[in-house]
Amino acid sequence: MKKNKEIQRCQWCGNDPLYMDYHDNEWGQEVTDDKTMFEFLTLESAQAGLSWIHLAAPRRIPQGFCKL
């Protein structure tokens, strides 16, 4: 993502760096590979009423932990 251009963000991400990174790099991006689709399906299932930030923060650690 280019740093010199002002990014228009949705209001829901506020000023939190984790939300901003998710918004800028993942939100609304088409997912076509099985590994990423499975990751998102699992995260959505685990969320079950929790705030997304509770799952997004630790998500950065185990990526690549399980090789599918």
What residues are annotated to the active site? 22, 44, 52
Q: Which of 16, 59, 10 is nearest to 39 (CA)?
A: 59
Nearest 5°: phi and psi at 32? Answer: -125, -15
- Are 51 and 22 spatial neighbours (Cβ–Cβ below 8 Å)? no
